[in-house]
Amino acid sequence: MSYQVLARKWRPKFFRDVKGQEHITRTLINSIKNDKIAHAYLLTGTRGIGKTTIARIFAKAIKCQNLSQAGEPCLECESCRDIDSGQSLDYLEIDGASNNSVDDIRDLIENVQYLPAKGRYKVYVIDEVHMLSVNAFNALLKTLEEPPEHVIFIFATTDPQKLIGTVLSRCQRFDFKNSSTEETVNLIKEIAKSEGIEFESPSIAYELAKQGKGSFRDSLSLLDQVVSLSESKTITEESLLLSLGIAKTKSVNKTVESILNKDKDQLLSVYNDVLRENIDLKIFVLQVLDKFYYLITNIDSKGNFSEDFELDEATLNNVSYIEVLWIYEMLSKDLEWAIASMDAEKACSFVMIKACLREDIIEQNNSKLKKKDKEKPSLKMTHTNTTNATQKQVERKETREHINSDEDQKKEKAELSQEQDKSWEGFIKYLYQHHKSLAINLERGNLINSSQLNSSEPDLDIAFSSDCKIFYDFLNDDLHKQELKKSIANFFNSDEQKVKVRFQILDDVEKEKTNFMSSVEIEQEQQRKESDKQRENILNNKYIVEAEKLFNTKIEKVILNKES
């Protein structure tokens, strides 16, 4: 038999063998046991975490002639063997990326009408279903909504956002979780043990799991790749590094130690060695950041590092936890732009040198802040003797005699200024400060009699145009009307009980006859006139006139700066 890659050889055959997706396997097993099988399922998640694998196990389970009490397929009956060998007429796997046209879906719909050759169900698995065209989806909708009783659809996708809502609403959706690093490491070790593969150090399995980025299949493919490079069944760090194109652990540790020790020369030496080995710069800086991250996350309550990081103990003892946090934050931010810069190699070295010189940079910044503080006028009280203190007390007593008269003068000035602004416009401004919602609605109308405005018994008629009835209704509400009366009484220094306010709606004829304009319209008209005046001044400017003559042209439009 030809060689099978590890990802295929160790593909789970039972629900119990599936790692990290217990919430899905349990649901599917229960649906089989209770005979509550839906007509359409949608499996979503990143690549290589078991979507198609679970679809196959589920198909075998519902087609199995000797289903176990645990809901697992037997793998020995004719239906199970046919599905495993790809010879089943009732199980069809379709690649959505290469069979995405309307004609492909029409062929599928025609096939759906035929009864299964064996058993109760025909199962159609469409992988990467998001690659189907919109027209293909539309052709499938009717069958998906009301499929024959013997048909089950299982859709698998890595990008469910691309599916149309009408498809999503017709399926039971299962979201697959990414595998954790711990789960992937355990799986790699388990398979390696069964295959007789040994690791030179435990960190190799961890590195393979980390590079897999949450995908079981990707991690096993990397393991296959490293095994192929190794001359024996023992995987060394060197074969791992050569196969994956990552930096040596020693180089990463030396880089981290150089930054922690503020040793710029050693840092540049290690960094240049890494570049000469043609390591991808992005991978290298991610390894360095990863090392700092695990320094941060593995510190105990006493400030001691709880794991052996293969770093110099004296280096770890001489650096504080807060300092490591600062380094990680600075590197993660600055290395991002460094990688994207025009010369990434020089930019990354600059960022790491900056981390080495952090103490000098912080000290220089602090000295600048201190210098600025010294230049600011001092607010500190100087020490005085008892004689000066006594003298100040005497001065306070003399000053206190004039306080009352000064306060009276201030009150009079405030009252005078308020009296000068006791107009309808002044009241609108006052209302904006104290009751904005009333002001916004009130300025959509206007006062149509002002004779009783400043009297001790204000009697006001406020009108609104017919298209502003919504503001009229708001203010005519009893609660809002009472609040408005209270505000009028406060502003005009009158008795609230004697304030009278009436609202009315003016139709178009009355509005035109009285030339009525709301407060907002008056303000807009004033602004328009001011703008027209500014434009006229600009067009009449002698330099503008000369420019028009010089270029034999005419300025048609002047745009004013709103901020001016």
Task: Say if CB 434 and CB 462 are below 8 A apart.
Answer: no
How many domains, in total, are found in the chain?
5
User: 45 and 154: one domain?
Assistant: yes
Boundary residue ending a domain (244, 272, 298): 244
Which distant-in-sequence residues (6+ apart) come within 8 Å of 482 by Cβ? Answer: none
- Give the C-alpha separation, 471 to 128, whole Å: 56
Residue 295 sits at φ, ψ, to 5 deg, of -65, -40
Residue 329 sits at φ, ψ, to 5 deg, of -65, -45
In a domain, 385, yes or no: no
CATH assignment at residue 261: 1.20.272.10
Range of the domain at 438: 420-516
Q: What is the pTM of this model?
A: 0.59
User: 230 and 277: one domain?
Assistant: no
Which distant-in-sequence residues (6+ apart) come within 8 Å of 430 by Cβ? Answer: 487, 491
In a domain, 143, yes or no: yes
User: 163 and 27: one domain?
Assistant: yes
How open is the CA angle 46-50-54, to the nearest 5 degrees?
Answer: 135
Write down the pLDDT at residue 370: 60
Tell me the pLDDT of the chain (564 aa) as tens digits: 578 889 889 999 999 999 989 999 999 999 999 999 999 999 999 999 999 999 999 999 999 999 999 999 999 999 999 999 888 999 999 998 888 888 888 999 888 888 998 888 999 999 999 999 888 888 888 888 888 899 999 999 999 998 888 888 889 999 999 988 889 999 999 999 999 999 888 888 888 998 888 889 999 999 998 988 887 788 888 888 888 888 888 899 899 999 998 899 999 999 999 999 888 899 999 999 988 888 888 776 555 665 556 677 777 777 778 888 889 999 999 999 999 999 999 999 999 999 998 888 777 766 665 665 555 544 343 344 434 444 544 444 444 444 444 555 444 444 434 444 678 888 888 888 888 888 888 888 888 876 666 677 788 888 888 888 888 888 888 888 888 888 888 888 888 888 888 888 888 888 888 888 888 888 888 888 888 888 888 888 888 888 888 888 888 788 887 654
- Give the C-alpha separation, 326 to 362, whole Å: 11
Write down the pLDDT at residue 425: 83
Which distant-in-sequence residues (6+ apart) come within 8 Å of 246 by Cβ? Answer: 207, 211, 240, 279, 283, 284, 287
User: 157 and 19: one domain?
Assistant: yes
User: 119 and 56: one domain?
Assistant: yes
In a domain, 378, yes or no: no
User: 237 and 271: one domain?
Assistant: no
Residue with tokens 């309808």: 424
Boundary residue ending a domain (149, 175, 201): 175
User: 471 and 506: one domain?
Assistant: yes
Write down the pLDDT at residue 467: 82
User: 357 and 505: one domain?
Assistant: no
In a domain, 407, yes or no: no
Token output for 219: 């991690």
Boundary residue ending a domain (244, 268, 291): 244
User: 153 and 277: one domain?
Assistant: no
Token output for 244: 């994956």
Nearest to 38 by CA among 144, 158, 137, 110: 144
Q: HEC string of 200-254?
A: CCCHHHHHHHHHHCCCHHHHHHHHHHHHHHCCCCEECHHHHHHHHCCCCHHHHHH
